[in-house]
A and B are shown apart, each in its own frame.
Chain A
């Protein structure tokens, strides 16, 4: 049924200005469209098309995969993108056409390599943070280098991917790192906001938690994130209603909503070490961390470093992202604080305006 059929003229009323009448006419039309799109969402929900950018699987190990997003390669140095492990799926970085970070970066001439950690099961409960840093990530990085034929590579860590990458780079000063970008990744956990407060060793017994639960279930992860921003669902639904007349918004919403409700579990030992070493003891920034028998020192990072914080980020507040800049040895280092929250920093319309071009141009000048 065509949208034009949903029209109803607002009658001329005495004392009502034409301006008010026109506005209400528009509102009536929008309400019809809202009803139409709402009915479609409920009666005939369409599965959003995700991950539109072409990619190839380069390497797989257990649940984890390494994907290559090939570009025209106007920049010599490829980029290894390390996202968070657990919590959520990485297709948020390639959500939809014209709304994809990977698409944007490949269009800018960067060969992108994305680490997809995968969905871990109870058989992976023994996998620790250290295993990820010393066994999986080095191999992913090596495979990316081999596949690209490049001698150096830039590493871009997002969210938890930033401390994972920083731990790897801090323990392996010989790694051929060209640039390191930290996007919304917590480094100094003394300023890690509500999560740091809730996971404080005085109140949260992580050993008991992991010993009891084994795998950290996706529902628990979801509960933690929902508690962090209890009004999120309300504002999401109000915004949906407000923009429901707009088919473009509805299509973007469907894709984002699918992602936002797809939480992932954590391997038990990974969660134990993540909470203890990072949230409770803040060992990365203190230089007290050891991985694979090697000390992890952020001072071992000499390549150019960019840290990007999001002003409204309540998962990794800017205060815990920025300290990377002073912790590394790099002389070329920069911190940017951009509008948005933890997710909207890298996904969505705002990201395509505020974040992606800045990160791409920073890297372009150094690749």
Chain B
């Protein structure tokens, strides 16, 4: 009896996920028809969820693994959402919008970053401290030096190997 109740509840949840996803897809497929109504999106989920819980409360047939079923419902609900979002984000329109947003960000961030960098350089110079660009230049020189030392090591290794090969002293 309890298992049958659980199965029924689970079926209702599944239906709820499917109907909610369909509502969301319908809204995505008609973007200009009407302004987005978040309530319309949530309603199928909430209505069916409430109906399911009411039934459990009134009939008093809580299945023993109600929590596990609730977790399963949540997982499926998130998976359904994830699928819908993935479909929406996989469209050319989304990529185009993302690109435009990034371009807008760079148009703002670029000059702002440059101004801040210049200001910081001037301030540090005024305090007689090494600037960021000077520190970066020193770090780059250390990296180049490391590369040169490695080059010399390589050459020495090659010479030693040749000496070994001809049986010379090492």
User: A residues bordering B, Cβ < 8 Å?
Assistant: 15-17, 19-20, 22-23, 27, 61-62, 121-124, 126, 135, 139, 194, 197-198, 200, 202-205, 208-209, 212-213, 227, 229-231, 234-235, 238, 242, 314
8 A-B pairs in the complex with CB atoms less than 8 angstroms apart: A16-B62, A23-B65, A126-B140, A194-B86, A194-B90, A212-B110, A234-B78, A242-B71
Check B143 for interface membership: any CB of A closer than 8 A: yes
Check B109 for interface membership: any CB of A closer than 8 A: yes
Contact with A along B60-89 (1 / 0, CB 8 A): 101111110001001100100110011001
| Complex contact A235–B78 (CB within 8 A) | yes
Which residues does chain B contribute within 8 Å of A122, judged by CB atoms? Answer: 132, 136
Number of A-B contacts (CB under 8 A): 84
| Complex contact A208–B106 (CB within 8 A) | yes
| Complex contact A204–B102 (CB within 8 A) | yes
- In the complex, what residue of chain A is closest to B92 when comparing beta carbons? A197
A198-B143 in contact given A19-B64, A20-B2, A23-B64 (Cβ < 8 Å): no
Which residues does chain B contribute within 8 Å of A22, judged by CB atoms? Answer: 64
- In the complex, what residue of chain B is closest to A242 when comparing beta carbons? B71
Stretch of B25-33, B41-49, B93-101 lying at the A interface = B93-101
Residue in contact with A212 in the complex, picked from B62, B90, B100, B113, CB distance below 8 Å: B113
Contact with A along B8-46 (1 / 0, CB 8 A): 000000000000000000000000000000000000000
A61-B150 in contact given A123-B139, A124-B143 (Cβ < 8 Å): yes
A342 CB to nearest chain B CB (Å): 14
A17 CB to nearest chain B CB (Å): 7
Check B164 for interface membership: any CB of A closer than 8 A: no
> How far is it, in angstroms, between the C-alpha of A46 and the C-alpha of B69 when the chains are bound?
32
> How far is it, in angstroms, between the C-alpha of A221 and the C-alpha of B89 when the chains are bound?
17
| Complex contact B82–A62 (CB within 8 A) | no
Which residues does chain A contribute within 8 Å of B100, judged by CB atoms? Answer: 203
> How far is it, in angstroms, between the C-alpha of A227 and the C-alpha of B90 when the chains are bound?
12
Which residues does chain A contribute within 8 Å of B63, judged by CB atoms? Answer: 20
> How far is it, in angstroms, between the C-alpha of A178 and the C-alpha of B138 when the chains are bound?
41
A141 CB to nearest chain B CB (Å): 14
Residue in contact with A15 in the complex, picked from B60, B64, B85, CB distance below 8 Å: B60
Which residues does chain B contribute within 8 Å of A123, judged by CB atoms? Answer: 136, 139-140, 143
- In the complex, what residue of chain A is closest to B62 when comparing beta carbons? A20
> How far is it, in angstroms, between the C-alpha of A20 and the C-alpha of B63 when the chains are bound?
7
Residue in contact with B143 in the complex, picked from A62, A209, A213, A242, CB distance below 8 Å: A62
Which residues does chain B contribute within 8 Å of A121, judged by CB atoms? Answer: 136, 139
Which residues does chain A contribute within 8 Å of B102, judged by CB atoms? Answer: 204, 209
Which residues does chain A contribute within 8 Å of B140, judged by CB atoms? Answer: 123, 126
| Complex contact A212–B109 (CB within 8 A) | yes
| Complex contact B78–A27 (CB within 8 A) | no
Which residues does chain A contribute within 8 Å of B98, judged by CB atoms? Answer: 198, 203-204
A328 CB to nearest chain B CB (Å): 30
- In the complex, what residue of chain A is closest to B143 when comparing beta carbons? A62
- In the complex, what residue of chain B is closest to A234 when comparing beta carbons? B78
B146 CB to nearest chain A CB (Å): 6
B72 CB to nearest chain A CB (Å): 10
> How far is it, in angstroms, between the C-alpha of A16 and the C-alpha of B110 when the chains are bound?
67
Residue in contact with A197 in the complex, picked from B78, B82, B95, CB distance below 8 Å: B95
A227-B106 in contact given A19-B2, A122-B136, A203-B95 (Cβ < 8 Å): no
| Complex contact A231–B85 (CB within 8 A) | yes
- In the complex, what residue of chain A is closest to B67 when comparing beta carbons? A27
The 10 closest A-B pairs by CB, nearest first: A203-B99, A123-B139, A23-B64, A212-B110, A231-B82, A19-B64, A203-B95, A212-B106, A123-B136, A20-B64
A332 CB to nearest chain B CB (Å): 33
B91 CB to nearest chain A CB (Å): 8
A264 CB to nearest chain B CB (Å): 18
> How far is it, in angstroms, between the C-alpha of A69 and the C-alpha of B141 when the chains are bound?
32
| Complex contact B86–A314 (CB within 8 A) | yes
Which residues does chain A contribute within 8 Å of B109, judged by CB atoms? Answer: 212-213
Which of B62, B75, B95 has the most C-beta atoms of chain A within 10 angstroms of its own C-beta? B95
A118 CB to nearest chain B CB (Å): 12
Which residues does chain B contribute within 8 Å of A203, judged by CB atoms? Answer: 95-96, 98-100
A80 CB to nearest chain B CB (Å): 19
> How far is it, in angstroms, between the C-alpha of A7 and the C-alpha of B89 when the chains are bound?
47
> How far is it, in angstroms, between the C-alpha of A135 and the C-alpha of B64 when the chains are bound?
62
Which residues does chain A contribute within 8 Å of B90, judged by CB atoms? Answer: 194, 197
- In the complex, what residue of chain A is closest to B91 when comparing beta carbons? A197
